[in-house]
Amino acid sequence: MPLKELAERRTLLHRKSDAQTMLKHALDDVQIGEVALVSSFGAESVVLLHMVAEIDPATPVIFLDTEMLFPETLTYQRELASTLGLTDIRVVTPDRAKVMERDVDGILHTFDTDACCSLRKTEPLERALQGFGGWITGRKRVQGGQRAQLPLYEKDETTRIKINPLAAWTPKMIADYMDQHDLPRHPLVARGFASIGCAPCTTKVAEGEDPRAGRWRGQEKTECGIHFEGGKAIRQESAA
């Protein structure tokens, strides 16, 4: 079955399913094949990580260490993985030879953020996903832009299925789930960081600002590039 058709059928099948049911089926779906959760261990990541741990703690979890993350994120990643009992965390770093060739001084982000994200996120993720038939993301329709029509399942730009169990979730649903299960928050959230990426390209957000306003502040860029549509990185528009 063509992947696009498979994604559409799965979206239809799970249109009324809760996120946990959809995740369980996705992890057992023989037509998709082996599935990994790709997690930034950011502000809202604990929700999907907890769900996956409850279903199967041996699920592969890919964590992209760009080598420019906040120290707090690295600590949170280690502590959260241990707390949830996740046993297959795959920490992926940029290719050393490519970093030496393209960003030896670590300043690429100051003049070409797209190239930096490609080097430190997109390319390492593609390597890490080799052999997987699908990958789980935490994207949501409330994040706006082209995500507003986000399906539960979609074909990505390669030969894999992207699975978005939280597509229909709201910020309140996220917060309620964290409270219900007493899940540890990323320490930077309490300090005003609503969306957390690499340290040089992430700032705090003011009250009333869009949660992703602190990512690449002052630039049109709002996506790192690991999500593509029609060969182009999806650019999320700020919510009004």
Q: Report the sign of the C-alpha dihedral through residues 83, 78, 224, 238, in that order.
A: positive
Residue 231 has pLDDT above 50, yes or no: no
- Residue 42's pLDDT is what? 94
pLDDT for 143-185, tens place per residue? 766 666 799 999 988 889 999 999 999 999 999 999 999 999 9
- Residue 235's pLDDT is what? 35
Residue 57 has pLDDT above 50, yes or no: yes
- Residue 232's pLDDT is what? 42
Strands 228-229 and 232-233, bridge-based pairing: antiparallel
* Residues carrying an active site annotation: 224
- Per DSSP, what are the bridge partners of residue 134? 35, 161
Cα–Cα distance measured from residue 212 to residue 205, given in angstroms and rounded to the nearest whole number: 8
Mean pLDDT of 39-51: 97
- Alpha helices by DSSP H, the chain: 3-13, 19-27, 46-55, 71-84, 96-102, 113-117, 123-128, 171-180
- Residue 117's pLDDT is what? 92
Residue 88 has pLDDT above 70, yes or no: yes
Cα–Cα distance measured from residue 177 to residue 89, given in angstroms and rounded to the nearest whole number: 23
- Residue 144's pLDDT is what? 63
What H or E segment, with its residue span, contains residue 89?
strand 89-92
- Residue 233's pLDDT is what? 41
- Residue 223's pLDDT is what? 55
Per CATH, the homologous superfamily of domain 3-190 is: HUPs (3.40.50.620)
- For the chain, the domains span 3-190
pLDDT for 115-149, tens place per residue? 999 999 999 999 999 999 999 999 998 876 666 67
Q: Which of 32-36, 47-51, 156-160, 199-203 has the lowest mean pLDDT?
A: 156-160
Average pLDDT, the chain: 89
